[in-house]
C-alpha cells in the first residue's frame, strides 16, 4: 500500500511540475524577442564603431594639416634675390 501511495504521489507531483513549465511556443517567442534585441544592440555598436572610425580619420587629417603648417613655418624663407658681392 505504501509503494502504491508513494508512486501515485510522485506521479501527481511530476505532472503538476510539468504543467508549471513554459510551453515551447512561449520559449520560441522569448528567443525571438531576445534575438531582435541582440540585433538592435549589434547595430548600435556598429554605428559607434563607424562614428569612431570617422572621428579617427578626421583627427588624422587634422594632424597632417598641422604637421604641414609646422613644417612650412620651420622652413627658412627662400631668398628672393641673389646676394651681390
- Dump pLDDT digits (tens) for 24-42: 788 889 999 999 999 999 9
572610425: which residue's cell? Answer: 53
- Cα–chain-centroid distance for residue 49? 8
Give pTM, 2 decimals. 0.53
pLDDT score, position 79: 56
Amino acid at each position: 500500500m505504501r509503494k502504491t501511495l508513494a508512486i501515485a504521489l510522485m506521479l501527481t507531483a511530476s505532472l503538476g511540475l510539468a504543467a508549471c513549465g513554459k510551453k515551447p511556443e512561449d520559449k520560441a517567442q522569448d528567443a525571438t524577442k531576445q534575438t531582435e534585441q541582440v540585433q538592435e544592440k549589434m547595430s548600435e555598436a556598429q554605428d559607434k564603431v563607424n562614428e569612431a572610425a570617422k572621428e579617427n580619420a578626421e583627427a588624422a587629417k587634422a594632424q597632417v594639416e598641422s604637421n604641414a603648417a609646422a613644417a612650412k613655418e620651420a622652413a627658412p624663407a627662400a631668398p628672393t634675390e641673389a646676394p651681390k658681392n
